[in-house]
Structure 1
């Protein structure tokens, strides 16, 4: 019975640590970019876009598709980095197990 209580305490402690780590992800930021930095996107560790910066030289009224591609590439870069950050921060709790939708 004592082993069970000890195990439950460890599980509770790990849950608290996981919750804290997830909360901290909201305060961590990553940056994605494209076009050599003419488009930059900032996202949180929760994969929420917080800022997009487009330098004037990226804006060509005759080539809107290029700007759209640059923004899309920068957003995907930022989201990929946010995912990697979440996996790194939360991976210590899952010991490398892939758990889709958990983070």
Structure 2
């Protein structure tokens, strides 16, 4: 297409890839809001659901853990479930990003900002 223009042909191809990537990144950002992950603590007694963007969406606590003597334990379980959900959200977002970059021919381990 740009034969005879030296490296400009490659530059045009790179610009096209960059535009494709920008479009796909925008689409992926929207998808991450809809992908849900569940973090658990206390063998499933506390469950935190978050989007792949890391936004906490819901918290499910088994009523059997409510005992005034165990307040600190319950708080620790809630915190652990939320952290687990956030970690899973980050892993899922990274997996989605890896899939996107691989599809565009970029290195699999390339880290891109969200």
TM normalised by structure 2 equals: 0.81
Larger gyration radius, structure 1 or structure 2: 2
Q: Is the 8 A contact 1:22 1:90 kept in 2?
A: no
Structure 1 residue 60, shift from structure 2 partner: 1.0
- Asked if residue 63 in structure 1 is aligned to residue 52 in structure 2, the reply is no
Which aligned pairs between 1:44-63 and structure 2 lie closer than 5 A?
A: 44-63=51-70
Higher relative contact order (CA 8 A, sep 6+): 1
The count of corresponding residues between Structure 1 and Structure 2 is 101
Q: Which residue of 2 aligns with 1:97?
A: 110
Q: Is the 8 A contact 1:45 1:83 kept in 2?
A: yes
Aligned partner (choices 21, 27, 42) of residue 28 of structure 2: 21
Bigger shift: 76-85 or 7-16?
7-16
* Superposition CA RMSD, Å: 1.5
Could you tell me how far apart the structure 2 residues matched to 1:7 and 1:38 are? 50
